[in-house]
Amino acid sequence: MKVHVKVNGVAYERDVEPRTLLAYFLREDCGLTGTHVGCDTSSCGCCVVVMDGARAVKSCAMFAVQADGHEILTVEGLAEGGKLHALQQGFWDQHGLQCGYCTPGMLLTSYALLKHQANPGEADIREGLAGNLCRCTGYQNIVKAVQQAAGTLGQPVAANT
């Protein structure tokens, strides 16, 4: 089947098997390997991308054909003009990653989170990231990374709980 998907602003037209998952479409048909696959049950969130600007989706739980006509943002599209996105900077500054495998999904989920809630507190971020697993960091520095990007790092937690 033919699908037309705009990924990171670039239009891709590809002929895919109907059963092709969006994750593998991005990785293998578009060559964007920053989107990872870590499980078979849509549990881990390594594959999260953003659809149509603000909706975080697990790309392993969507067929490529379902993305036909939509815009997808992947980790490769976060930095603009050679400048890291505030979330990328936050993850780097706050040691929000170790092996890096969950990081793209964490970044994209956080991106959508901030689109919906500009000033999330720790509790909001923890809730927002509950669909993304990390085996290395224990989440604490990931939360700080998102807070840095949102400009809420160091603000009292009580204000948000």
- Please name every residue paired with 80 in a beta bridge, in sequence order, or none if there are none: 83
Q: What is the spatial distance between Cα 98 and Cα 116, in angstroms, rounded to a whole number? A: 27
CB nearer to another protein: give 19 or 69.
19
Burial class (CB in 10 A: 0-12, 13-18, 19+), 38: middle
Do residues 94 and 32 touch, judged by C-beta distance below 8 A?
no
CB nearer to another protein: give 114 or 125.
125
CB nearer to another protein: give 22 or 69.
22
Least Å distance, CB 12 to another protein, is: 16
Q: What is the spatial distance between Cα 143 and Cα 138, in angstroms, rounded to a whole number? A: 10
Residues that bind another protein in the complex, under the rule CB under 8 A: 17, 19-20, 24, 27-28, 32-41, 43-44, 46, 74-76, 78-79, 84, 88, 91-93, 95, 97-104, 107, 125-127, 129-143
Do residues 112 and 51 touch, judged by C-beta distance below 8 A?
no
The identity of residue 138, as a single letter, is G
CB nearer to another protein: give 42 or 66.
42
CB nearer to another protein: give 36 or 70.
36
Least Å distance, CB 57 to another protein, is: 17
Element (H, E) at 1: none
Least Å distance, CB 46 to another protein, is: 6
Least Å distance, CB 68 to another protein, is: 19
Do residues 56 and 65 touch, judged by C-beta distance below 8 A?
no
Least Å distance, CB 1 to another protein, is: 14
